Amino acid sequence: MRRFCIKAQFEHLHHRYVVSGGLHCTRTTLCTAMKLLSNTLFLCLALGLTNAAPTHHEGAAVAEHVHDPALPDRCAGIEFDAIAPDEKGNIFFFKGEYLWQGFSAATYHSNQAFKELDDAHHLGHVNAAFRMHSEDHPMDHDHMYFFQDDKVFSYYNHTLEEGYPKDIQQDFPGIPSQLDAAVECPKGECITDSVLFFKGHDVYGYDIATKTVKKKTWSHLPVCTSALRWQEHYYCFHGHNFTRFHQRTGEVTGDYPKDARNYFMRCSDHGHGGGYRTPKCSEVTLDAITSDDAGKTYAFKGPIYMRLDQSRDGMHAFPIGRSWKEMSSGVDAVFSVTDKLYMIKGDQVYIYKSPAPYTLIAGYPKTLKEELGIEGPVDAAFVCADEHVVHIIQGQKMVDVDLSATPRAVSRVAAPLPFKIDAALCGPKGVQVFQGSHYYLYESPMTLSHSRIAPEPLPITSAIMPCQD
């Protein structure tokens, strides 16, 4: 199991929470226990996160903004030429011959990181950039593509691929030169693995597999000089501002534009200040946790949630209502079955079609009695891979409901559990159950249901998350 440094920063004025690094997680792993979220931070986030955008934290400590007057200052307000992450999740901001890595790094020349991006090719600055997402094409997956005038450069591990630069039309037929911006759009978020290319108000949707292009015009969206996908959210940068948009329609919801200096970089006079207190490990708690068949792992607390499986790009908390608008006040329990996400609140069950953007299935919500054949309330719920039984925790009781049966009803009631459970997650090594700042590991749901004595609690420590022991 790979370990990475885990870092956290809380920006008081904007109520943001970012954790960079962590353990790579999928539905088939149990490492989400190593990334529990602090109750204190969640409550603080709930105060003002509704329209927050992500920041990216590079390095174990955040440096205050120090500017060399001989170099451009992004805290003075810069319209970026391109923004893109590399294969390790480091986000690069480009302006002319300069770039910045992350939101707190100093200014340096782009050819220090990508040495071929210089005057040797007699091209202009980087017009657009993106990180390729195409798991069906592993030779291209996670490569960075840079566009300069009518040329495209492909890098992996900051090394230029043989044969590049090429004419844009060689790699991306139908895509014009002199682009303004580009951003990847994985299958599920877009219909297929795609790239969105921007030129003026025109958007070219490029299907990676078929190499076909669909052109549309988003006149309601500002002209994007750079674009970024981060944690299933899409951002158009223009001037020193940004606007979040829907990747399929270009729709903008919320109060935009916003100043990028308040969110995507650390500037002393733009939205940064004191107020962060490293929480005690004893303050950790969760409301719910789940992992779907695609490996997306979500943790929930109060009115916000965090995606846990994208440790490479860092983690960030968002309002639940941004992805599941009917659940803005929080959830009691969540579980995933095939391509559906079940969310329980009070005596109501909401079922969403996945992947993102999640869509509430017509006819929902329904009552717990109608959908699962039980009365509320529910404290936790989980489903193990390749099974059709949902294990529902109610107080110190666990009941099983066969999801393949019609009508649904309780098929088994376990003996009383040794303690109350906040949240639970099932994986190949067993069942993790969370209670406050501790977690417990059971070999299987059957072991949990027959246990009369709780196993040794495993505490959350500063070795696995940013908290004070």
H/E/C letters for each residue in 136-185? CCCCCCCCEEEEECCEEEEEECCEECCCCCEEHHHHCCCCCCCCCEEEEE
Tell me which residue of 169, 167, 171, 137 sits closest to 151, measured CA to CA.
Answer: 167
Give, in order, the Cα–Cα distances in Å from 360 to each of 291, 366, 401, 426. 18, 12, 22, 24
This prediction's pTM:
0.68
Domains and CATH numbers, the chain: 7-51+277-459 (2.110.10.10), 74-262 (2.110.10.10)
Which residue type occupies 346? Answer: G
Tell me which residue of 326, 427, 329 sits closest to 385, measured CA to CA.
Answer: 427
Out of 10-19, 27-36, 128-137, 232-241, pick the least confident: 10-19
- Mean pLDDT for the stretch of residues 183-208: 95
Q: pLDDT for 109-162, tens place per residue?
A: 887 888 787 654 545 589 999 999 988 888 889 999 999 999 999 999 999 999
For residue 207, pLDDT beyond 60: yes
Q: Which residue has the tokens 């978020």?
A: 189
Cα separation, 24 vs 271, whole angstroms: 31
pLDDT, averaged across the chain: 80
Q: pLDDT for 412-448, tens place per residue?
A: 998 889 899 999 999 878 999 999 888 899 999 999 9
Residue 160, both tokens: 């230029």
Q: Which residue has the tokens 């480091």?
A: 90
Tell me which residue of 20, 8, 92, 422 sits closest to 265, measured CA to CA.
Answer: 92
Q: SS3 of 256, please?
A: coil
Q: pLDDT for 44-66, tens place per residue?
A: 333 333 333 443 332 322 334 45
Phi, psi of 260 (to 5 degrees): -60, -25
pLDDT on residue 124: 57
Out of 238-247, 272-281, 300-309, 350-359, pick the least confident: 272-281
The contacts of residue 342 (CB under 8 Å, 6+ apart) are 334, 335, 336, 349, 350, 351, 381, 390
